[in-house]
Structure 1
Amino acid sequence: MTKTRNPEVTRKKLLDALQRLLDQKPERLSGKYKINVKSVQEEAGLSLGSAYRYPEVMDAIEEQKVAIAKRDIRKRSAKTDLERLREEKAKEKALKEKYRSALEEAKEKLDRLYAEQTMQQMAMFNLLDIDDKARLLQDSKPKVVRIK
């Protein structure tokens, strides 16, 4: 018994199989698969090499492969951009924390220096005799100028 071949039926099987694979609803394949000639032939239930007789099917498969590749490139590009931005944000955050801690350290040091300076001024002031203290306090009064 020989099989009768109907090119239109075979072509339709191949195109339907391609569409099922694109819709991710295969009937015969399971697991991960790529969109290529072999997977379309297997999904259609045809022998290997049968798709090569139909140039329009081969063109459709190739178009879909190119479209998927472009979509994947855009996804990877967007993902790498997102990763790059996240890394930059993390670096900026670390730098900000570094400068914030350096600022806090500088403020603490400045406070200590102000306290030390005030203590030294008070110690020097206490060493003066009473007349020098009075003169110093008199000289340090702000001079007020009247404006008419």
Structure 2
Amino acid sequence: MTKTRNPEVTRKKLLDALQRLVEQKPERLSGKYKVNVKSVQEEAGLSLGSAYRYPDVMDAIEEQKLAIAKRDIRKRSVKSDLERLREEKAKEKALKEKYRLELEEANKKLDRLYAEQTMQLTAMMSLLDVEDRIKLLQDSKPKVIRIK
């Protein structure tokens, strides 16, 4: 018993299989697959090499492969941009935290220095006689000049 070939039926099977693969709704294939000539033939239930007899089907498969590749590149590009921005944000956040800690440390040192200076001035003032203190305080007053 020989099979009769109908080129239009075969072409339709191949194009339908291609469409199912592109839409990611295969009927025969399972798991991961790529859209290529072999997977289209397997999805169509045809023998390997049958798609090569139909140049228009081969062109359609190539077009879909290119479209999928472009889409994947855009996704990767957007993903890589997003990852890059997230990394930059994390670096900026870490840098901000580092500078915040440095500022806190500098403020603590400044507070200690102010306290030491105040204690030294108080100790020095206590060593002076009362008349010397009054004279020192009068001399340290800022001189205000009136502008006419």
- Range into which the TM-score falls when normalised by the shorter chain: over 0.9
Find the counterpart in structure 1 of residue 90 from structure 2: 90
Find the counterpart in structure 1 of residue 66 from structure 2: 66
- Which structure 1 residue ranges, 5 or more long, are not aligned? none
Give me the whole-angstrom Cα distance separating, in 2, the residues matched to 1:17 and 1:53: 16
Give me the whole-angstrom Cα distance separating, in 1, the residues matched to 2:57 and 2:4: 20
User: Alignment RMSD, CA only?
Assistant: 1.2
Partner AA of 1:93 in structure 2: K
Partner AA of 2:83 in structure 1: E
- Which structure 2 residue ranges, 5 or more long, are not aligned? none
- Within 5 A, what are the aligned runs for 1:26-45? 26-45=26-45
Find the counterpart in structure 2 of residue 105 from structure 1: 105
Aligned length in residues: 148
Find the counterpart in structure 1 of residue 25 from structure 2: 25
Structure 1 residue 147, shift from structure 2 partner = 5.0
Give me the whole-angstrom Cα distance separating, in 2, the residues matched to 1:129 and 1:97: 50
* Residues 59-101 of structure 1: CA deviation (Å, up to 9, x unaligned): 0001100111111111111111111111111111111111111
Find the counterpart in structure 2 of residue 136 from structure 1: 136
Give me the whole-angstrom Cα distance separating, in 2, the residues matched to 1:59 and 1:98: 58
Find the counterpart in structure 2 of residue 124 from structure 1: 124
1:27 alignment partner, SS class = coil
Give me the whole-angstrom Cα distance separating, in 2, the residues matched to 1:147 and 1:96: 47
After the TM superposition, which of the residue ranges 134-143 and 102-111 deviates more from structure 2? 134-143
Find the counterpart in structure 1 of residue 13 from structure 2: 13
Structure 1 residue 138, shift from structure 2 partner = 2.1
Partner AA of 2:76 in structure 1: R
